[in-house]
Amino acid sequence: MSLATVILAAGLGTRMKSDKAKVLHPVAGRPMIEYPVGMARALGSSRVICVLGHQADAVRSAVESRFGAGSIEVAIQAVQRGTGHAVLQAEAQLAGHDGLVLILYGDTPLLSQSVLERLVAGASSTTLTMMTAILPDPRGYGRILRDDSGKFTRIVEEKDATTDQRRINEINAGIYCGPARFFLDTLRSVGSNNAQGEIYLTDVMERAAAGGNGLTVNTILASADEVMGCNDRVDVAKADRIIRLRLADELMRAGVAVRDPERLYVEPGVEIGRDTALGPGVELRGKVKIGAGCVIEQGAVITDCTLGDRVHVKPYCVMSESTIANGVQIGPWCHIRPGSVIEDDVHLGNFVETKKTRMGRGAKANHLTYLGDADVGAKVNVGCGTITCNYDGYVKSRTIIEDGAFIGSDTQLVAPVTVGAGAVTAAGTTVYKDVPAGALALTRPEMAIVPGWAERKRQRMTGGGGNGVAKKPAKPQKSQKKKSPKGRTARRRG
């Protein structure tokens, strides 16, 4: 039977104490709503209908930015009158659907695919399935009532339950599957005669179990972890941790070394090759692909990047929207900004920043350097303190450094400018004209040498101690200094 999924996500989630709709809060880096939508798609659901209310546009665009435009249909529930009422809002979308409907919540991100597969596989035109779990602390959930033979009879909400019923610790997860038509037909007639004055989706299960309609209800038991709904930020943090630990387990089973799984922050969908090692506090966001045999050390934050094999990222690097080839060494404390293309065997040392820059094969920039809008050739050596002056306050310009060039320490490259292949820039040079291949570029003001100046100053300041160790001047000597014409001259020249 064909499957449609309805995801209930209209609530604001008051307990989040947030201006943002609950299902937009991230769990393991992804907005909560992505989890049920992703599940529905993984289960082969032909249609995914989200019932939205609060911030419907923001929720829709979050989903579409992940799964593509038109990936979901939206039904609006303007006023939240209960879970059953929410499903009824999808009536128009479900009108022509003669198959099964799977009902998921937008705030239950921990469900595994396998338990949902069992739920869907168990449902048919004559069988409804619902997910339950045994919780040590069932507070807040609807409880599962069974008859003496253990057959499911109905769900009682906490607010409607007696003290005895509240002791039951089998709870309703709120996830169901069954013939769409039966859900809609029943919901149209159940009413809202209950403690909350809502239309309860749970009443559908009670009607089905009541008999006389040729239907059976089967329960599918899930683990306590999986059914957890995220109602406040404490729940979000718990869910976040569970998903991260699951992802760490998956990575380790696939041959990735994880130093401290509790402190690995990865999002679903990252791809990492075997024998790659991830240090504590590593954060991998968005679309990250890392090859084999890499070492990613403590505190590296990598967003939307592709790394080749044997890349060594030293502690505390921040890297985004860039491509890193094989055998590259980066860090510590590098900032690889969007549009960087780092080719094989490049070395980038501490405090190097790149942006929209290609570093050719084997190039090096080992210390304190900014390379923005640059094209750096193979085997180029970029000395300490080099800066591409790529922005004049109006436009960005490019710097080209051709293969094998040697950029001396403290070179400023005033873009647009080209340094030819094999050329050398002397330390401290401001390169504001193109440098031909093989040439030397040098800008360096005349240096003055004043013999004995330092020693004379020391004498003045210390009263003639002359032991080479500068002392804090005593007051009378200070006034003496003012009178000395020789001292003034020397100071000016030095």
Positions in the binding site for ligand UD1 (CB under 6 A): 8-11, 51, 77, 80-83, 85-86, 105-107, 141-142, 155, 157, 171-174, 200-202, 229
When asked if residue 13 is in the footprint of Ca ion (CB under 5 A), the reply is no
Q: Decide whether 177 or 415 has the Cβ nearer to ligand UD1.
A: 177
Q: In angstroms, what is the minimal distance from the CB of 110 to Ca ion?
A: 13
CB atoms within 10 A of CB 150: 6
The CA distance from 194 to 235, in Å, is 27
| DSSP helix/strand/coil, 45 | coil
Q: In angstroms, what is the minimal distance from the CB of 88 to ligand UD1?
A: 10
Contact 119, 112 (CB under 8 A): no
The CA distance from 338 to 321, in Å, is 5
When asked if residue 142 is in the footprint of Ca ion (CB under 5 A), the reply is no
Q: In angstroms, what is the minimal distance from the CB of 238 to ligand UD1?
A: 15
Going by their DSSP bridges, the two strands 170-179 and 100-105 should be labelled as antiparallel
Among 1-9, 223-231, 341-349, 372-380, the segment contacting Ca ion (CB under 5 A): 223-231
Q: Decide whether 138 or 420 has the Cβ nearer to Ca ion.
A: 138
Q: Decide whether 13 or 372 has the Cβ nearer to ligand UD1.
A: 13
CA–chain centroid gap for 120, Å, is 31
For residue 2, give the nearest of 115, 102, 127 by alpha carbon.
102
CA–chain centroid gap for 470, Å, is 53
Q: In angstroms, what is the minimal distance from the CB of 253 to ligand UD1?
A: 30
Q: Decide whether 85 or 460 has the Cβ nearer to ligand UD1.
A: 85
Query: What tokens does 389 get?
Result: 């002056």
The CA distance from 343 to 229, in Å, is 45
Selection from ligand UD1, Ca ion, none that 290 binds (CB < 5 to 8 A by kind) is none
Binding pattern for the stretch 173-212 against Ca ion, x by CB under 5 A and - elsewhere: ----------------------------------------
Selection from Ca ion, ligand UD1, none that 276 binds (CB < 5 to 8 A by kind) is none
Q: In angstroms, what is the minimal distance from the CB of 140 to Ca ion?
A: 7
CA 254 → CA 248, 263, 273, 275, 396, distances in Å? 10, 18, 8, 9, 44
Selection from ligand UD1, Ca ion, none that 86 binds (CB < 5 to 8 A by kind) is ligand UD1
Selection from ligand UD1, Ca ion, none that 184 binds (CB < 5 to 8 A by kind) is none
Query: 């979050």: which residue's tokens?
Result: 62
When asked if residue 229 is in the footprint of Ca ion (CB under 5 A), the reply is yes
Q: Decide whether 82 or 383 has the Cβ nearer to ligand UD1.
A: 82
Can you spell out the DSSP letters for 69-129? Answer: TTSSEEEE-SS---HHHHHHTTHHHHTT--SEEEEEETT-TT--HHHHHHHHHH--SSEEE
Query: What tokens does 255 get?
Result: 């041959």
Q: In angstroms, what is the minimal distance from the CB of 143 to ligand UD1?
A: 8
371-384 burial: b if 16+ Cβ within 10 Å, else e: bbbbbbbbbbbbbb
Contact 278, 259 (CB under 8 A): yes
**Which distant-in-sequence residues (6+ apart) come within 8 Å of 57 by Cβ?**
none
| DSSP helix/strand/coil, 457 | helix
The CA distance from 250 to 95, in Å, is 40
Selection from Ca ion, ligand UD1, none that 142 binds (CB < 5 to 8 A by kind) is ligand UD1
Selection from Ca ion, ligand UD1, none that 10 binds (CB < 5 to 8 A by kind) is ligand UD1
Among 226-234, 268-276, 277-285, 475-483, the segment contacting Ca ion (CB under 5 A): 226-234
Q: In angstroms, what is the minimal distance from the CB of 198 to ligand UD1?
A: 6
Selection from Ca ion, ligand UD1, none that 353 binds (CB < 5 to 8 A by kind) is none
Catalytic residues: 367
Q: Decide whether 80 or 409 has the Cβ nearer to ligand UD1.
A: 80
Residue number closest to ligand UD1, CB atom: 142
Q: Decide whether 154 or 244 has the Cβ nearer to ligand UD1.
A: 154
* Residues engaged in binding Ca ion (CB under 5 A): 229
